[in-house]
Amino acid sequence: MNKNKNHYVIIMAGGIGSRFWPVSKKSFPKQFMDILGTGQSLILQTYNRFAQFIPKENIFVVTNQDYVDLVLEHIPGITKDQILEEPLARNTAPCIALASYKLKQINPNAICIIAPSDHLITQENKFIETATQALNFAENNDALVTLGIQPSRPDTGYGYIQFNPLSHESGIHAVKTFTEKPTEEIAQTFVDSGEFLWNAGIFVWSNIAIANRIEQYLPEIHQLFAELDFNSHNFKTELEIAYGQCPSISIDYGIMEKDKNVFVLPADFGWSDLGTWKSLWDVSKKDIQNNSLIGKNIRTYQSSESLVFSTNDKLLVISGLDNVVVVDSDDVLLIMNKNKEQELRNIVNEIKDKYKGKYN
């Protein structure tokens, strides 16, 4: 495949993935786990997917400075120059701004895909076709494009994008509204209307377009980052100062919900954000009782609709339990109702406070 030298990818890999606790922890977050049992970590799967149609030297990773060695370990061939280190977690807008100003110094004509490091995509050929379509649109239009996933159910864990049914060229639609994580009743009306898509958090735009929007809508971040000299021997110190003053804000709230030239490309390429244990159960292979068993020594009896995940060789025996998540890690055993997944983050925060971060 001929690869366009102006096409770039920014992989966002700074999150902790707290909803996959107790396996995903601050020291070793979800993107570095082989959570699907494929032999590859999620971040390596993401990198390899993009390397099929983007020049390898044009693939950059933005991550927390604590994870740089993990990125180098998991992605063979990537150089340290392709890794942008964040000194603090400040959500997606500063992360994207940092990458945008870096690319501005490398290639003024860059067209970028921004993508999370830890999502599942099962139909890679369809994804490449969709992403290429979005890249071509962004190359010829001063537009911000996001990929929207056809919803299969009224999921309350996703953001939703409402689009204009009348499509622009190439099947791309103007965006009407963004809605964050609605109630189940509202989510059902969204799905029934046929005018809403799940927000996959995958964006495509020219670097010029996003840099202009950052300056327009996020002037504080622009002022902090625009003057950074990425080649300066003081860069790390300057970046720490900038991040210390930087607001924590998402790209959706900071820019996408405000701009008038936002488009969505409806897509269906076997996507899951793998955001919770239940979402892993949704996409995993199941036995005759609809249990997903990921680990070496797991036995179930009179149990169904459950996920059992083990990181060690311990024998796990599950009997008479339905609709549960059982996760056995080195130092924590988690057992919870599969439908209570949205409560896990609060539980993790409470445990962090009680045990001074020992299990986080």
Per-residue pLDDT tens, the chain, 360 aa: give them: 679 999 999 999 988 877 899 998 888 899 999 888 888 999 999 999 999 999 999 999 999 999 999 999 999 989 999 999 999 999 999 999 999 999 999 998 999 999 999 999 999 999 999 999 999 999 999 999 999 999 988 888 889 999 998 776 678 999 999 988 888 899 899 988 889 999 999 999 999 999 999 999 999 999 999 888 888 899 999 999 999 999 999 999 999 999 999 999 999 999 998 888 998 999 999 999 999 999 889 999 999 999 999 988 999 999 999 999 999 998 999 999 998 887 888 999 999 899 988 888
Same structural domain for residues 304 and 256? no
Strands in 237-283 per DSSP E: 262-267, 271-272
SS3 173: strand
Do the domain assignments include residue 115?
yes
131, 166 contact by CB (below 8 A): no
Instruction: Confirm whether 255 is domain-assigned.
Output: yes
User: Would you list the DSSP string of 66-107?
Assistant: GGHHHHHHHSTT--GGGEEEESS---HHHHHHHHHHHHHHH-
C-alpha to C-alpha distance for 207 and 193, rounded to whole angstroms: 34
Closest CA to 133 of 269, 228, 249, 244: 269
pLDDT at 342 (0 to 100): 78
Say yes or no: 259 and 330 in one domain.
no
The greatest distance separating any two alpha carbons of the chain, rounded to the nearest whole angstrom, comes to 63
**Residue 360: inside a domain:** no
Joined together, the tokens standing for residue 233 give 């021997």
Domain final position from 272, 297, 317: 272
Q: Does residue 2 form part of some domain? A: no
The CA distance from 196 to 175, in Å, is 10
Count of structural domains within the chain: 2
- Identify whether residues 265 and 281 lie together within a single domain: no
Closest to 123 (Cα-Cα) out of 149, 103, 153: 149
Structure-token match 């995903």, residue found: 24
- Closest CA relative to residue 281, chosen from 340, 345, 332, 338: 338
Q: Is 88 exposed, middle or buried (0-12, 13-18, 19+ CB in 10 A)?
A: middle
CB 258 within 8 A of CB 284: no
CA of residue 26 relative to chain centroid, distance: 16
Please check whether residues 28 and 106 belong to one and the same domain: yes
Domain termination site, one of 272, 288, 306 = 272
Beta-carbon count within 10 A of 168 CB = 14
pLDDT at position 158 is 87
Query: Does residue 215 sit in the same domain as residue 250?
Result: yes
Please give the structure tokens belonging to residue 138.
């962004």
Sign of CA dihedral 326, 89, 148, 53: negative
**Is 1 domain-assigned?**
no
The residue length of the chain stands at 360
Place of tokens 């390596």: 44
What pLDDT is attached to residue 253?
93
Residue 76's domain comprises 7-272
**Looking at residue 357, what is its pLDDT?**
83
Is 256 in the same domain as 283? no
Claim to verify: residue 165 and residue 306 sit in the same structural domain: no
Domain boundary among 255, 272, 289: 272
Q: Are residues 157 and 49 in the same domain?
A: yes
Shared domain for 303 and 337, answered yes or no, is: yes
CA–CA separation, 98 and 83 (whole Å): 11
Could you tell me if 201 and 334 lie in one domain?
no
User: Residue 359 falls within a domain, yes or no?
Assistant: no
3-class secondary structure per residue, 1-63? CCCCCCEEEEEECCCCCHHHCCCCECCECHHHCCCCCCCCCHHHHHHHHHHCCCCHHHEEEEE
| pLDDT value for 26 | 86
Residues 233 and 88 in one domain: yes
Residue 318 inside a domain? The answer is: yes
DSSP 3-state of 263: strand
Written as six digits, the tokens of 9 are: 């990818």
pLDDT for position 169: 67
Structure tokens at 236: 């790390």
Distance CA 24, CA 90 (A): 19
- Give 3-state DSSP helix, strand, coil % of the chain, rounded to 5: 40, 25, 35
Structural element, H or E, at residue 81: none
Q: Residue 194 half-sphere exposure, CB side, CA atoms within 13 Å?
A: 2
Q: Regarding beta strands 292-294 and 307-310, do their DSSP bridges make them parallel or antiparallel, or are they unpaired?
A: parallel
For residue 110, what are its two tokens? 């860059």
Same domain? For 177 and 313 the reply is no
CA dist list (Å): 203 to 112, 135, 146, 188, 270: 8, 10, 4, 25, 17
Q: Is residue 153 a part of any domain in this protein?
A: yes
Query: How high is the pLDDT of residue 196?
Result: 92
The CATH number of residue 121's host domain is 3.90.550.10
